[in-house]
Amino acid sequence: MPKAKYDTIYKDLKEKIETEIYAYQEILPSEHMLIHEYGCSRNTVRRALAELTADGYVQPMHGRGVRNIYQPVEQAAFTVGGIESFKESTIRNKRVSKTKVLQFTEIVTDEKIERRTGFKKGTPLYYIQRLRFLNGIPLILDHNYFSKEVVSNLTPEIAGQSIYEYLEGELGLTIATSKRTLTVEHVTQVDEKYIDLKGYNCMAVITSQTFNDKGIQFEYTQSRHHPDYFRFQDVATRKRTGL
């Protein structure tokens, strides 16, 4: 947990925006004011503002000021955002979770798996299939692949709790970057066996490759979500299309 100055400023401004101490469309105090308020350099203030911009909280306007463009939204579904474990997601979404481990095996990467997952052929893996419950209803089916070269001593018991908690807590692993692809796919027999799709014949599918702080991929996961309980949020900022 960084106790960096820019991060405390970032968190403080974020809270002031979320609690509407700064109203929607309001101009925030200028960088000059914030420097005095927080007693730091301009670079530090600007770094905090840059992160808020990337989050879609504010819009800096050259020569005019920084405007709050944050609008709270009611969260009806299960919302997916940054990198976080299922357990963290459920807490953020204020749900009660349960996990059932359907499969727990050890395999070795072949050419077919290499193409799909990004692991080198020959890499030993854990393959885990898990069913996720929200408020008692089965909604998500996960297929996890973890590299045994990075993740060791995984057990079905750990898989039934939180693997991320184990990785970060017990193993001291630092999770850094996750590349995700989102698609919509037909249901499979396995999906139908465990999840009541109420008429849908497809699911929301997130596939992700996750890297640790050494730049080593340790996970490939396909996460299949019930459409009614799936929502993915994102903020994009326009890159000047180099004319």
Q: What residues line the site for DNA (CB under 7 A)? A: 2, 4-7, 28, 30-33, 39-44, 46-47, 49, 60-66
**Nearest distance from C-beta of residue 216 to DNA, angstroms:** 12
Please give the residue ranges that form the binding site for a second copy (CB under 8 A).
Answer: 1-2, 11, 25, 53-54, 56, 58-59, 61-62, 64, 67-69, 71, 77, 81-84, 88, 118, 174-186, 199-204, 211, 213-215, 217, 227, 230-243
Tell me the C-alpha distance between 161 and 165, whole Å: 8
Nearer to a second copy by C-beta: 88 or 133?
88
CB nearer to a second copy: pick between 101 and 197? 197
Cβ of residue 185: shortest distance to a second copy, in angstroms? 7
The least distance separating a second copy from the CB of residue 160, rounded to whole angstroms, comes to 21
Residues 6+ apart with CB under 8 A from 241: none
Binding partner of residue 1 among DNA, a second copy, none, CB cut-off 5 to 8 Å per kind: a second copy
120 binds, among a second copy, DNA, none (CB under 5 to 8 A by kind): none
Q: Quick one: which of 99, 104, 204, 206 has its CA closest to 146?
A: 104
Q: Cα angle vertex 189, ends 183, 190, to 5°? A: 80
> How do 137-147 and 217-225 pair as beta strands?
antiparallel
**What are the CA-CA distances from residue 158 to residues 85, 123, 127, 131, 161 (Å)?**
13, 22, 13, 14, 5
Report d(CA 79, CA 57) in Å as an integer: 18
